[in-house]
């Protein structure tokens, strides 16, 4: 039995060796090509790069003052705007709050970048002031928070009406139906909205009730520039 087993084992080894010898003597088969057949490419040119006017990031990284509404013809300067060149630095913007020290700390934490302001006096005694506040927004959506925070007290006033700012998702404008002592006992309307990293604030004051249509048009036009 042992001899039979040994003979079988030797036969298997001999057969394997013979197979290797036969395979080694054959001409190697040609390997298939590694590259795939070339694919047909679409014809025509790719889309052209966006212009500076179309690229939002290019627009907002330029001179922020150029995104403000232009002062309309027939108006005069608004002396209440405390800026000679259209810029508001961090300290100057914080001073616009009722508690500047706390506002300064919050703006630093919200990654305040810069602010620009414009304004004018229209026919009669109607004043307009518009501010754009830009944030770096590395860790927060500060522009959105600034817009919501600015309109907080207005939204809770029982003598105030509100409407959406056209062309914005969450922007609103408010018309106060009675004089506001905090604004010199005059009538006031305001608008708050944001786009990307820029918050927009608008204030319209008059000695008589402010027209909602005028505020809507100003806010719409300003947001279209962002």
- What would the pLDDT profile of 135-163 be if each residue is shown by its tens digit? 997 666 788 888 877 655 566 677 899 99
> What mean pLDDT, rounded, does the chain reach?
81
Answer for the pair 102, 138: CB distance below 8 angstroms, yes or no.
no
Contact 176, 187 (CB under 8 A): yes
**CB neighbour list of residue 195: distance below 8 Å, 6 or more residues apart:** 143, 168, 223, 226
For the record, the structure tokens of 61 come out as 């990284």
- State mean pLDDT over 9-21: 49
Q: Facing residues of 185 across strands?
A: none
pLDDT at 10: 44
CA 81 to the chain's CA centroid: 26
207 contacts 124 by C-beta, under 8 angstroms: yes
176 neighbors 159 (Cβ within 8 angstroms):
yes
pLDDT (0 to 100) of residue 13: 47
Task: Report the distance separating Cα 110 and Cα 137, nearest Å.
Answer: 7
As given in the structure block, the two tokens for residue 86 are 């259209």
Sheet holding 198-206, edge to edge: 87-88, 112-121, 127-135, 198-206, 187-195, 172-176, 160-164
How, if at all, do strands 127-135 and 112-121 pair?
A: antiparallel
How far lies 47's CA from each of 51, 55, 149, 152, in Å? 12, 14, 40, 43
- Give which of 108, 103, 105, 67 is closest to 87, Cα–Cα: 67
Do residues 82 and 131 make contact, with C-beta atoms less than 8 angstroms apart? no
* Residue 2 pLDDT exceeds 60: no
Here the tokens at position 62 are: 């330029």
Whole-angstrom distance, CA of residue 116 vs CA of residue 20: 85
β-strands 198-206, 187-195 pairing: antiparallel
Q: Mean pLDDT, to the nearest integer, of 70-88?
A: 92
What is the pLDDT confidence band of residue 54, given thresholds at 50, 70 and 90? low
The string over 126-147, giving b where at least 16 C-beta atoms fall within 10 Å of a residue's C-beta and e elsewhere, is: bbbbbbbbbbebeeeebbbbbb
């Amino acid at each position: 039995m042992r001899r039979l087993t040994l003979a079988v084992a030797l036969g298997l080894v001999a057969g394997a060796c013979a197979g290797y010898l036969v395979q080694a003597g054959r001409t190697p088969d040609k390997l298939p090509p590694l590259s795939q057949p070339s694919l047909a490419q679409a014809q025509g040119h790719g889309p052209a790069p966006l212009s500076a006017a179309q690229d939002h990031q290019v627009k907002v990284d330029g001179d922020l003052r150029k995104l403000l509404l232009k002062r309309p013809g027939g108006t005069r300067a608004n002396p209440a705007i405390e800026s000679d060149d259209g810029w508001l630095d961090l300290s100057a913007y914080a001073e616009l709050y009722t508690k500047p020290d706390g506002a300064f700390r919050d703006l630093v934490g919200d990654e305040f970048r810069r602010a620009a302001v414009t304004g004018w006096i229209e026919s009669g005694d109607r004043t307009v002031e518009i501010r754009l506040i830009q944030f770096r927004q590395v860790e927060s959506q500060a522009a959105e928070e600034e817009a919501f925070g600015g309109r907080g007290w207005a939204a809770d006033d029982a003598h105030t009406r509100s409407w959406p700012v056209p062309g914005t998702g969450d922007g609103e404008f408010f018309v106060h139906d009675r004089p506001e002592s905090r604004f010199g006992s005059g009538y006031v309307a305001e608008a708050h909205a944001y786009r990307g990293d820029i918050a927009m604030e608008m204030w319209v004051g008059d000695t008589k009730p402010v027209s909602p249509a005028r505020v809507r048009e100003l806010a719409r036009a300003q947001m279209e520039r962002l």
